[in-house]
Structure 1
Amino acid sequence: MQPCRVAAKEAAGRNMLAQDLRCSLFTASALQSYKRDLVLWPLPSSYTRLNSKDFEALLADASKLPNMKNFSNHLETKTNGPGTCAGKTEFEKIQQLTGVPHMPVPTPDFLFEIAYFEPANGKFYETKGERDLIYTFHSSHLENFHSIIHNDCTAT
C-alpha cells in the first residue's frame, strides 16, 4: 500500500465515529444551509454551470460518500487513480530537478501528481508548452490545495 494510503487509513481509523460525524455535519450544515453560497467557497469548478452554482450536484455527490468503515476498507483495495500520491523519496528527485532551494525546506508529508481532467486542460497545456513536466513547490495547508490547483502557483 502506498504511504499516503497508509496515512489516510490511519487518520480514518483513529476515530471512525468522529470522522463519520464530521462528514455528516458537513452534509447537514454546509450543503443544506441557506448560507451554503458563503460557506462553500471556493466551490469546485466542476459544480459551476453557466455562472450558477450547482449545489444539488454537490449534495448528490456528497451523499454517495461511504461511511468511514467502508472508506477504510476501500483504501486497502484501491489502486492508483488519476491523482497519485508519491512517497517522500520522490521529494529528493524533485529537488534535484528544480535545483537546490535557497533556504532549507522540510520534507513534505505527501507529494501528489495530478492528472488533469481532459476537457479542462487548455490552460494547462498552454502553460506546459513543450515541457514534459512542470514542478512546483508550495507549502500550504491542505484546505488551500483546491485553490492552488485551480488558480495556479505564481512566482513572487
Structure 2
Amino acid sequence: MKQDEQYQIPKDKNVTKTGLDILYTSQVDRNVTDENLEMKILSLKHLLEKDPKAADLKWSLFVAASNTYRYDSCLKPFPPMYIKNECKDIEALRRAIESVPSLPLIYKELNEASVYENYSEMIELLYWVLIRLRDPHIKSVQKENYDSILKKVPLEMPVTPPNLIFQVASAKQSTIEEKWKSSATNYSTLYAYHGSRLENFHSIVHYGLQQNMCKRSQFGKGIYLSSELGVSLPYSPVGYGWGGSLLGSEISCIALCELIDHPDIKRGDSRDSAQNRLIDSVGGKIPDKYFIVTNSDLVRIRYLLVYTQNLHTTSTTDNSGLLAWFKQHKLLTFVLGYVVLLASVGLTQNKQVEKYYRLFIQKAGFE
C-alpha cells in the first residue's frame, strides 16, 4: 500500500452549499481522538467483512464520478476534506484514489496497529464514502432472490440478466422516504427501469433521479424509464469504475425504480392523449414501454442491477501484484508499451546492434 502525505481539512466550518451539492460538513471529524479513530477503523472493518461487494460497488461508483471530466456535476456529494477556499481540489482527490488498493488488502491492513499513522488520508476518505454517506445504503441481494426482483417488471423481450443485484435501502428515519410513502397513500405503485452512464450513479444513489438533470427530451422533458430492461440497457454503456474492484473494473448499472402511479407520470401504453403525450414533445406520442416522470418526488430507486465484465469469484484475491498495478494504470501501461515499441524500432535500425545480433546468431549456430 502506498503512503501519502496527510491532507489538511479546511478550517472553515461552514462550506457553501449550492443546489444539490450537499457537502455533509457537519459530519466530518476535525479532531481525531483515539476513541473516534478506533470507531472509524472498526466501522470500516465491519462493513468490509459483512458486505464487501456492496462496499466495492459504492466505492467504484464514487471513483467513476471522480474520474470523469464532468465531475463537477457527477461527483455530488463531494468529499469536503478536498475543498479548499471553496474550490474543489479534484487532482488531490484523484491522487488519493490512486493510492487505494483492493478492499480485501485494506481489510488486512486495518488490523495493523499503525494503520492510521501510515494511511490516514485513505482511511478518512473511505470512511466518508462508505460510512458517512449512509442514507441510502447499498446492500447485496442473495442470488436466490434475483428472480423475484426481476419479476417486479414482467419482461416481454428476452434480455441478458444482470450478474449482480444490490438493494438501495433508506434509513429508518429518512424524511425523503417518509414523504414518498405519504404521497403514495392514495395511489398504486409500479416498477420500471432507468439506464444511465456509470459516472452518474454516485449522485443518482444519493439524490435520486432528478428531472432537471435528464437531457433526453425528444418526447418532452422528464425522467425517462421503461418497463423493458432491454430498452434501458443501451443507455447504460459499460464504464470504467475502479481498477482494484472485486466486481471488475468495467461495469454498467441499471436502476430498478418504484413509481407512484400519479397523473404526473406519462406513459406510452395509455390511450388518453393527456397521459401519453407531453406538451413540449417534438417526437409526438410517447412510445410503448416508456414512462416519463415530470415530478422527481414520485420515483425512488429500489435496486441497482450490475453487469460486470470480469467478476472476481472470491473476496480474498490479493490484487497487490504487478498485474493489478497494470490494471489500475491502463493509460500509463499503454504509454510504456508505446515507448518500448519505439525503442525496439530504433534499435533495429542501429548498425552496431545489428552487428552484435548477427554475431549472436553465428555463435548460437543458427546460421
Indicate the TM-score class for this superposition, using the shorter chain for normalisation. Answer: 0.3 to 0.5
| Higher RCO structure (Cα 8 Å, ≥6 apart) | 1
Q: Which has the higher helix share?
A: 1
**Highest CA radius of gyration, 1 or 2?**
2
Q: Which has the higher strand share?
A: 2
TM-score norm. by structure 1 comes to: 0.46
